[in-house]
Every structure is written in C-alpha cells, then in structure tokens.
Amino acid sequence: MDVLSEVLRAVRLNGAVFFDVNARAPWAVASPDTRDVRDRVMPGSAHVMPFHLIMSGTAWIETDDPSQPPIRAEQGDVILLPQGDAHYLGSEGCDRVRPNMAHYHRPTDQQLPFRVSEIGGAGEDTRIVCGYFGCDAAPFNPLLDALPRLTVIKAGPDCGKLASHFITAALNEGGANRPGGETILAKLSELMLVQAMRMYIDALPESSEGWLSGLRDVHVGRAMQLIHGDPSRDWTLATLARETGLSRSALADRFVRLVKMPPMQYLGRWRMQLAAHALEQPSASIAIVAADVGYQSEAAFNRAFKRFVGQPPGVWRRTHPAAGRAAA
C-alpha cells in the first residue's frame, strides 16, 4: 500500500493552474487568503492551498507572519502554503502590493491559465506558474498539518527540471487553445505535488517528527501501510505490533512520537475520513457505511463518528457542505 497516494486519493486532491507569470525585476505580486477566493478558483473544494513553481529566475516569498522571514526560491523550486495563507512574491527588496481580486475567477471565455506578461521593470527575468490544489480538510487530512505553513521544496538535480519541462510543454500547447489543455495542466500539477512531496520527505533530517517522517520510518511506516491497506480489519495494537516486528509499547511510543497520536486513534480518524466520503452518496445507508469501515454495529459507528468528528453521521450528511453538494 502506497500511503501517500492513498491519502491524496481519499482527500480528493485536484489541481488547477491559474497564472503563467513573466516578470522582470523589480516586480511584486500578492495572493489573497484562499478562504476569500475558494469558491471562485476551486468551486466545490472544502480546502484550497496555493502553489507556485519557479520555472526560471528567482523569487522571494513572504507571508504576514512576522516570525517568518522571506524565503528565496530558485528555478525548479515548488512553493506550497498548505493552510492557504495570504502571501507575497517579488524580486529582492520589492515593496508589498495588494492582490487584484478581479483576477481570481474561473474564466468563461478563455482557457486557464491567465497569462500575465511583462510586469515589473527591465531587470532579471523570472517565470512562475501559479495555481491551486483543492482537497478535503475534514474529518482527517494528515497532509495539511504535516507541512510548515510556508514550504519551499528545493528542486533536486533532475526532479525540478523534469516538472518544469512537462509543464512548459503543456503551457505551450495550451497557448493554442487546444481542447483538454486545462485538464493536462491540472493533472501535471498534481503529479508535480507528488514529486515535490517525495523530495521533501527525502530531505527531512533523521531527527524530524510528523506524519511524513512516520511514512519514512520502517516500523511506523509499515503500521500505516497496514492501516491504509485494510482499514476495516479488526486491528488492535497487538496485531499491528506483531506485523511490524515491535512490542506493543515500542510501537505505541514510536507512533506517538512521529505521528503525534496513538495507532488506534489514527486508525479511527482515517476510518472517519473514508466514512464521511461514503456518506456523501445519498443511496448509502449509515449501517452499510459503518460495516464498510470496520464497525460491527451502527450504534458503535455513530459513537465513534461523533467522538472523532464532533457530530453524528446523520447530522454530518445533512450539514457538511461537500456532502450537501453531492446530495444535491
């Protein structure tokens, strides 16, 4: 079981490339908090996070957090803001500007991306592809808390160039307004994210902690593979420990240190993510959903769902925006 791929699938990751920016120093652009533009740029997504791929040149990025200094990004680097924070991009030393909210919408008379050319002055050239990833945030998306609020994933010797090469080819094709251009760019951006996440995991220090470090750990990673591979199985700490080659206490301690929650809590939260997705289907009964995610009775499932999610499954189905859209 490829845990990262399974999580990306279950939280319904989807991408969109919005802007192809050609700038010359000095230049500056601003991006609003995605809560203010979510329904305009990624309608139907519960959570939206922006990304930027530096195709050529360099850029400085910063947020409104005074404790976070500006970060320099170079060709092939991928910039992610998992919580959707407002942020600013520009050449070195440029003053901040305000975002142009009129740019944040899905066009009806042209294909994405919007092409923003020749902004700035007459200095160094920089080209950036900017877009968004939409996904579920609740009940459980471990990726959102696994990354810093501002993440610059440095390009490897080949990986960053590979992403830039394919996206450049797709942008050139999109310039001809050929059918399917938006979809090609969207899927390439999703592949770019997977590639960037792999590079980020590989670069983590041995002493790092968190969900991504858990994926890399031999024993915790194995436990997560088992959970995601068969979430409806009647797992216990003892069976997980036996399968991973550790004692119960050793696995529990290691899992908590890296993933920040016990294995059984992780299993329960992941089951709720799968269940919440299934509940969006109007034809799926709560009893069937409960059985599909490993509960022998509807009552036990109702108690677990309320404990992990904060409301009963029936209320979630009626009130959660994504569930409501699916039912409609």
Taking 50 as the threshold, does the pLDDT of residue 327 lie above it?
A: no
Q: Which residues contact 218 (CB under 8 A, 6 or more apart)?
A: none
Rounded percentage of the chain residues whose pLDDT exceeds 70: 94
- pLDDT of 178 reads 72
pLDDT tens digit sequence for 285-313: 999 999 999 999 999 999 999 999 999 99
- Confirm if 313 and 301 have CB atoms less than 8 A apart: yes
- pLDDT of 180 reads 81
**Domain parsing of the chain, residue ranges:** 3-203, 212-327
Taking 80 as the threshold, does the pLDDT of residue 51 lie above it?
A: yes
Selection from 24, 47, 235, 7 nearest residue 127 by Cα: 24
pLDDT tens digit sequence for 61-86: 999 999 999 999 999 899 999 999 99
Q: Where are the alpha helices (DSSP H) in the chain?
A: 3-10, 38-41, 159-174, 181-203, 211-216, 218-229, 237-244, 248-259, 263-279, 286-292, 298-309, 313-319, 321-327
User: What is the spatial order of strands in the sheet that 78-80 belongs to?
Assistant: 114-120, 14-24, 125-135, 47-56, 78-80, 151-153
Please state the rounded mean pLDDT for residues 118-145. Answer: 94
Please state the rounded mean pLDDT for residues 150-154. Answer: 94
Report whether CATH 1.10.3720.10 matches the domain 3-203.
no
Band the pLDDT of 144: cuts 50, 70, 90. very high
Partners of residue 56 on adjacent β-strands: 127
Selection from 180, 269, 181, 187 nearest residue 224 by Cα: 269
Topology annotation, domain 212-327:
Arc Repressor Mutant, subunit A (1.10.10)
Partners of residue 46 on adjacent β-strands: none
Distance of alpha carbon 244 from alpha carbon 3, whole angstroms: 16
Please state the rounded mean pLDDT for residues 20-41. Answer: 96
Is 80 or 178 the better-scoring residue by pLDDT?
Answer: 80
Rounded percentage of the chain residues whose pLDDT exceeds 90: 75
- pLDDT of 162 reads 60
Partners of residue 219 on adjacent β-strands: none
Q: What is the DSSP letter of 102?
A: G
Please state the rounded mean pLDDT for residues 225-238. Answer: 97
pLDDT, averaged across the chain: 91
Taking 80 as the threshold, does the pLDDT of residue 189 lie above it?
A: yes
Please state the rounded mean pLDDT for residues 177-196. Answer: 85
Please state the rounded mean pLDDT for residues 118-141. Answer: 94
Band the pLDDT of 174: cuts 50, 70, 90. low
pLDDT tens digit sequence for 251-261: 999 999 999 99
- pLDDT of 158 reads 57
Taking 50 as the threshold, does the pLDDT of residue 326 lie above it?
A: no
CA distances from 96 to 89, 104, 171 (A): 8, 19, 28
Band the pLDDT of 324: cuts 50, 70, 90. very low
- pLDDT of 157 reads 63
- pLDDT of 176 reads 58
Taking 90 as the threshold, does the pLDDT of residue 230 lie above it?
A: yes
